[in-house]
Amino acid sequence: MEKKIGDKVEKGEVLAYIHTNMQEKIETAETRLKEAFKISEDKPERYEEILGII
């Protein structure tokens, strides 16, 4: 991952790299990465990293 939550990004910047030697896994990984990012003009709300202790 090259960017973290709240980082400013410019068009064309790398957000993450996929490392694999299996061609068939590239498309799945690419799709999952695209779904993991949400790019917005608004800064995201901060959230608690530790949700609870068991």
In sequence order, what DSSP letters do the residues of 38-54 get, joined into one string?
---SSPPPP--S-----
Q: What is the mean pLDDT of residues 22-50?
A: 83
The pLDDT of residue 8 is above 80: yes
What pLDDT is stored for residue 45 in this prediction? 79
What pLDDT is stored for residue 51 in this prediction? 78
What percent of the chain has a predicted confidence (pLDDT) above 90? 4
| Contact between 39 and 9 (Cβ < 8 Å) | yes
What is the amino acid identity at position 14? Answer: V
Give, in order, the Cα–Cα distances in Å from 52 to each of 3, 45, 47, 48.
26, 19, 13, 9
